[in-house]
Amino acid sequence: MIKYPTGVELHNGSLRINFVYKGKRIRKWLAMPDTAKNRKIAGEYRASIVYKIKMGTFVFDDEFPDDKRSSSYSKDINFIELVDLYMELKKTEIATSTLRRYDSISRSLMQFVNCKKSISTYTPADLLRIRNKLLTDHQLPNKYRPTRDDGRSVATVNNYMRMLLSLFRFAHRNKYIDDDITVDCGYLKKEKPIPDPLTEDEFKRLLIACQNNQSRNMLILSVYTGLRPGELTGLAWEDIDLVKKTIMVRRNVCGPSDFSYPKTGASTDRIISLLEPAFNCLKDQSLYTKMTAPIDVKVKTREFNKYRTDSCTFVFQPSIVSVNGVLTKFYSPGGFSQIWRSLIRRSGVRHRKSYQTRHTYACWMLSAGANPAFIATQMGHSSSKMVHDVYGAWMPENDQDQISLLNQKLNDSVPYVSPSSHNKDNIRFISNS
C-alpha cells in the first residue's frame, strides 16, 4: 500500500495537497503524476506552506496567483503595510506633529513585532507578549540615556500600546482581521501623575543659573503665564498688548519650520492677563527683539491643507544669543527644553521636564487663592474641572475664611433677638460699628 506524506493525496490520477488557512480547508491540485519522487516534493511543498501560515508570512495571492479564490484572501497585509496604510489615511485629520509622533512610535514598535507576519494571524496572546517585551527588554544607550537600561516605564509602555491597539482596531474595522484581538489587552496600571512644581528656592536658583537675559526672560514668562513650550517659542510681539498687559495665544511651534494652532480649541486665541513679573520681563525682552524685522510664517489650521500667514516678530530669538553664527528667528519645539536642561544642570535643581513650568504656574496661583475658573481660562482649559482634578491638592483649605466672609455680609440684614424677651421692642439690627 502506497504511503502518502501528511496532507498529500491522489486525486484523478494526480497529486493534490490540502491545508487549513483562515479556518478553511484548501485543496490544491498540483498536476503531478503519482510517483515516489513527486510525493516527496509535494509533501515538502505542503510543509513549507504550513510553516508560512504558522509564521504569518503566507500570502495566498503570491502562492496561487491564478486561483479564483485569491480575491477573497487579497486583504492579507503585514504590519509594515498596516502602518503605512494607517498613516496615509490619518494624515488628513491629525496635526503634522501628531502624525510625526505616531510614525515614530510605529517604527519603534517594529523592533518587537514580526513585521512579515500577516496581520490576520495575530492573536490576543501576541499582543500581550509584545507588551511584556516592551516592559522588560533592554533599551539601547543614546545621548539622553548613556547606559543600557532594563525595561521601560509603565507610561512609555502604555503610550506604545495605545498606538499598537489603535492599529489593530483599525485592521479589525477594515476587515483585515476577523476578530477584535485588542479586547483582552488593556493598559498597565499606573499611578496618577502628580504635578511637580518648582519651589520658590528652586526658581531663584534657576534664575541665577541663566547665562543671558533672554534665557532668564523665557523662564520667568513660562512660570508666570503657564504657556506651553510650543506656545512660548511661537510667541510674537504682534500677539502682545503692553498697554492692556495681555497676550493672545495664536500659534504653536510643532516642528523645525512648522506652526499650528495651539493644542485645543479653548487654547486658541485665548487672552492671558500678564502678572507683574511677566509684564516686566517682556519689557526687558523688548529691548532685544521688538525692533527686529518680522518674518512671514505659515500656520496650519485645523482644516486639512489650509494655512494662514502670520507676520511675526518673535519675542525669543536664538540669533541674539548665538555664539556659533546661528541666525534663526525662532526656537524649535525642543529649544526651550534644551535651555531648561542646561539650567537644571548648572543650578543643581532636581531634574524634571520643562513642562513643569506650566504646572508651577497653576500650583502657585492656586496656592495664592486664585479662582480655578480664572486659571482654567488662562491656561486654555475649557472648564475648571481639569484644574480641580489635576491641581486640587494645591487649593488652600479656606472654609473658615468663607464662613467669616458670610458672617460679615449677613450681619447687616439678620435681626438680633434678645434672649430675655421676644417682645418686638427688643429686636434690633446689628450695626457694623
3-state DSSP call for residue 124?
helix
Q: State whether residue 30 is helix, strand or coil.
A: strand
Give the CA radius of gyration of the chain: 33
| Residue 298 φ/ψ, nearest 5 degrees | -95, 125
Instruction: Write out the catalytic residue numbers.
Output: 228, 263, 358, 381, 391
Say if residues 268 and 261 touch (Cβ distance below 8 Å): yes
- Pull the grid cell for residue 172: 479589525
CA distance 144 to 398: 44
Cell of 389: 482634578
Report the distance separating Cα 260 and Cα 334, nearest Å.
15
Give the three cell numbers for residue 294.
518680522
Q: Which residues of 244-264 are buried (b: 16+ CB within 10 A; e: fewer)?
A: eeebebbbbbbeeebbbbbbe
Q: Which residues contact 318 (CB under 8 A, 6 or more apart)?
A: 326, 328, 329, 330, 331, 335
Phi, then psi, of 10 in degrees rounded to 5 = -95, 130
